[in-house]
Amino acid sequence: MLFWILVAAMTAAVAALLLYPLLRGGKTLDDTRAGEAAVYRDQLRELDRDLSGGLITSDEADYARAEIGRRLIAVSVTGPAAEPKAARHHRFSEAFILLLLPAIGLCLYVAMGRPGLPSQPLQARLENPGNDMAILVSKAERHLALNPDDGKGWDVLAPIYFNAMRIADAEKAYRNAIRLLGPSAMRLDGLAESLMAGSNGMVTPEVRQTLEQSLSIEPDNPRAKFYVALSMEQAGQAEQAKAAFEAIAKESPADAPWLPLVNDHIAKNGGAPVAAGANAPGGPTQEDVAAAQTMSPADQQQMIRGMVDSLDAKLKADPNNFEGWVRLVRSYAVLNDKDRAADALKRGLAVFPADGDQGKQLLALGRELGIANEGVTE
């Protein structure tokens, strides 16, 4: 009952605020008319004085008196015949504000609102954040303020900070996750990207050292290889950079999303685009690459889909292939098939549980690609 009393009071207050200028408008108009009438009467009296003093002739006085009298009559006439059209519009506006506006608002609230929903203070919202990312981050930050040695918490927050362009927070989170959980290729790559974002895209010596550590853990990591090649390009080592980028292209699968960028850098350093996947394990053969170059875009897309399906079938027969699961999830994401990407992620996590290092990398990959992993806990 208290809720509806408050709603009625707020509605009345809003109606009063909206009606005030309309009601005041009529009074202002009356005051304006009275003021104009007083001015015209003063002009008539002054006209009589000018005539008595001989300042104007009788004809001039008669003409001026007729004009002033016409104006005085115009502002003095009252009643429906003289009521301006604006007043009639005001009546419609007043009726709308008093009757229709509250009725429309009430109908919308009954149809779309939830009057029975209890109020939720901040603490309650933090305990049940739902899908509100801001509240989830705030809750995680509060947890880490009380438990700064929770490596998993830092590991989860780090990519979220980076995607939100909170670069300093992302760097701190990655460093804490590495310190508490140990280095992994995913964490080291994230730290390197955070450091690069803080240095305007430059691969500094610290970034290069971080990337080399990542490659020592995962030698086939294309992201780390790309940034190492980029550091050569930034240092003016065109030949070394070209060779490094060419190696990435040859080792990448044909549907790798980074290939256009890699070939751009190859051309920038004086080379020609390299056919993808020539040396990639499980990738297309040289004949496949040559055939793809003569295909239409639709046929190329069909060929890529066939290779992804082939990889999926191989993983069903031999699921103990972590790199294969990573490639499969990425491939379905590139093909914009989020349902199959989510299914591949779920199957990969069944082989590499989420509490293991490789499982955590799969979970992080899913977060990076925006793929849901319902029912999976870290």
Tens digits of pLDDT across the chain (378 residues): 566 677 677 777 776 676 666 555 545 555 566 667 777 777 778 878 877 877 778 777 777 777 777 776 766 655 444 445 445 555 666 666 666 667 777 777 666 666 665 555 555 555 555 556 777 788 888 888 999 999 999 998 898 888 888 999 999 999 999 999 999 988 999 999 999 988 888 999 999 999 999 999 988 888 889 899 999 999 999 999 999 988 888 887 766 667 778 888 888 888 876 755 544 444 444 444 444 445 555 555 566 676 777 788 888 888 888 888 888 888 787 777 888 888 999 999 999 988 888 888 888 888 877 776 654 444
pLDDT of residue 115: 60
Question: Which of 9, 72, 13, 5 lies closest to 42, judged by CA?
Answer: 72
Secondary structure of residue 25 in the 3-state scheme: helix
Strands (E), the chain: none
The Cα 244–Cα 237 span in angstroms is: 11
Nearest to 326 by CA among 355, 356, 364: 364
Q: Using alpha carbons, select from 174, 193, 22 the residue that is nearest to residue 97.
A: 22
Q: At what angle do helices 185-198 and 167-181 cross, to 10 degrees?
A: 150
Q: Check the CA dihedral 215-219-220-226 and report its sign.
A: positive
Q: 371: which DSSP letter?
A: -
Pairwise CA distance, residues 134 & 45, whole Å: 75
The rounded Cα 12 to chain-centroid distance in angstroms is 37
Give the list of residues 6+ apart from residue 333 with CB closer than 8 angstroms, or none: 341, 369, 371
In this structure, how many other beta carbons lie within 10 angstroms of the beta carbon of residue 310?
12
How far apart are alpha carbons 364 and 134 in whole angstroms? 19
Closest CA to 280 of 220, 326, 320, 330: 220
| Alpha-carbon gap, residue 347 to 28, rounded angstroms | 76
245 burial level (CB within 10 Å; 0-12, 13-18, 19+): buried
